Structure 1
């Protein structure tokens, strides 16, 4: 990674490391995200249970995700744990690290487009993005999701314009889909029309609010209800909102609706 954080990580945080030296009772690693910071993993923090040979668990140059146990700010040293990182935490940290690496690649593309050194790109806009948004990836997601023009940054206009164009060209928002079953029933003489009207109304609401939904007939009284959004939380909010709307619409017509996962 080109960009390295200054200082030391916080205790309890997760860090990406590269194994550099393996001793009989400890492993020394470099913290990939930090500048010139070394960490140590004691044999007791490698894996639960007895360890006969550390090399059965780690090898030189292997990438690890570790938890920060203690930080010595005088010696610039960090004690780490490998065994206290669960699989979900490892996957999430790995994903964040890869996302940031991809974001750095985009800045390299910007340097090529502007025909300047990558150091100048960071000096003129990269560091400003990290300071304002926390990371390059988070900055790029804000630009895509909220159409930020980056005028809040103290960066030259040609850098801002070229970067925004590159981001829109290269980055696509992730999509998350969730689904359930709408159970729509009516004993009214015009029950079929009531159900059709309710479904039509849900589509109208979705179109107005720019939701991505799909309602497909499975066989009376069941309808497959799919919602797609840029994140799980938003998808969950939409499916709850529209399911409740379906219940209200059907109830107004003396009919019934229910939503099930």
Structure 2
């Protein structure tokens, strides 16, 4: 006999309908002559309505310039009729603060909902039942389940073991007995913890800066190498700094960290240490690109560029070494030396 598929549809929050004067995230479904019909994404796509007069504070000349079918954006709840299920919304009542708060909350709620749906599907449990016993209690206790999920990454037992549910059974003598049991089984708990860790474990950020460094003094190459060591010494155990030559005189400083601000601060210190050392030997350092967080795509592009330069350099034969030697001569007067040798 085929088992019944679990219900995977459910609203994100415990309340079945939003409260008045609350910003919600909507998707535009249809634009009519006098109103626009939308779905409330956080409330299992129940329908709402926006009058055209509530689209903007300014005079509406073209509805298409203000709203489009399929667009996802915030709107403010004006009226809610629980009996008929009518929800009236407005875009013109939104402030910038409302928009930002709504987008931030929806981003967190969407991730939580995605995890809950995946767990319900994988463990073959009802999504609303999972919300009733896990999701919504975490919303109540931590203001948002997202905050609880962040704690579960490192300490799942302290968060999930506190959640319980009441189970009614027929005890001895035919009497109904209420037992308090864990909110979810160990199997469901394992699936939930694994998915939370997979989706919410912080990924290290790549922080990068680009500099040009020159030194035409005697042993200029050695001075540059010492400046590079000073830059790397500015790193920490949690955020080590590496500096690589791209192509003279261009160098790249690189760091990985979970804290963006900390990474940028440490790279700034590394650049300052490098500058102090090279200027001590009458060299020059120019910051071509200040420390910033970069994407994996940008890192990959830089690695490809460095590999290309390396291949080009290896194909060149002849006097690379002589060019480096010339750099190391620094301020020595070559013509004066030649005349003295002739005499």
* 1:166 aligned to which of 195, 199, 203: 195
- 1:19-59 per-position Cα deviation (integer Å, ceiling 9, x unaligned): 46654222243422147976442324447665467799544
SS of 1:180's equivalent? strand
SS of 1:209's equivalent? coil
Q: Which has the larger radius of gyration?
A: 2
- Go from structure 1 to structure 2 and tell me whether the alpha carbon gap of 1:215 and 1:245 turns closer, same or farther (over 3 Å shift): closer
Contact 1:247 1:258 in 2 (8 A): no
- Go from structure 1 to structure 2 and tell me whether the alpha carbon gap of 1:217 and 1:190 turns closer, same or farther (over 3 Å shift): same
State yes or no: 1:241 paired with 2:266: yes
Q: Which runs of 5+ in 1 are unaligned?
A: none
Contact 1:66 1:80 in 2 (8 A): no
Measured in 2, the distance between the counterparts of 1:113 and 1:20 equals 31
Contact 2:10 2:44 in 1 (8 A): no
120-129 or 74-83: bigger deviation: 74-83
Alignment of 1:111-130 (within 5 A): 111-130=120-139
Residue 151 of structure 1 deviates from its aligned partner by 0.6
Number of aligned positions between the proteins: 247
If the length of structure 1 is used for normalisation, what is the TM-score?
0.66
State yes or no: 1:224 paired with 2:249: no
* 1:17 aligned to which of 8, 26, 51: 26
Measured in 1, the distance between the counterparts of 2:121 and 2:43 equals 26
Measured in 1, the distance between the counterparts of 2:10 and 2:19 equals 18
Residue 244 of structure 1 deviates from its aligned partner by 1.8
- Go from structure 1 to structure 2 and tell me whether the alpha carbon gap of 1:225 and 1:39 turns closer, same or farther (over 3 Å shift): same
Which residue of the partner structure matches residue 148 of structure 1?
155
Which residue of the partner structure matches residue 66 of structure 1?
74
Residue 65 of structure 1 deviates from its aligned partner by 0.9
Residue 106 of structure 1 deviates from its aligned partner by 2.6
Contact 2:234 2:270 in 1 (8 A): no
State yes or no: 1:181 paired with 2:210: yes
- 1:155-176 per-position Cα deviation (integer Å, ceiling 9, x unaligned): 2483544422232345564565
- Go from structure 1 to structure 2 and tell me whether the alpha carbon gap of 1:143 and 1:10 turns closer, same or farther (over 3 Å shift): farther
Measured in 2, the distance between the counterparts of 1:25 and 1:166 equals 45
SS of 1:33's equivalent? helix
Q: How much is the aligned-residue C-alpha RMSD, in angstroms?
A: 4.4
Measured in 2, the distance between the counterparts of 1:51 and 1:191 equals 68
Measured in 2, the distance between the counterparts of 1:20 and 1:181 equals 48
Q: Which runs of 5+ in 2 are unaligned?
A: 1-8, 164-181, 290-343
Contact 1:65 1:82 in 2 (8 A): no
Contact 1:100 1:137 in 2 (8 A): yes
- Go from structure 1 to structure 2 and tell me whether the alpha carbon gap of 1:64 and 1:250 turns closer, same or farther (over 3 Å shift): closer
SS of 2:156's equivalent? coil
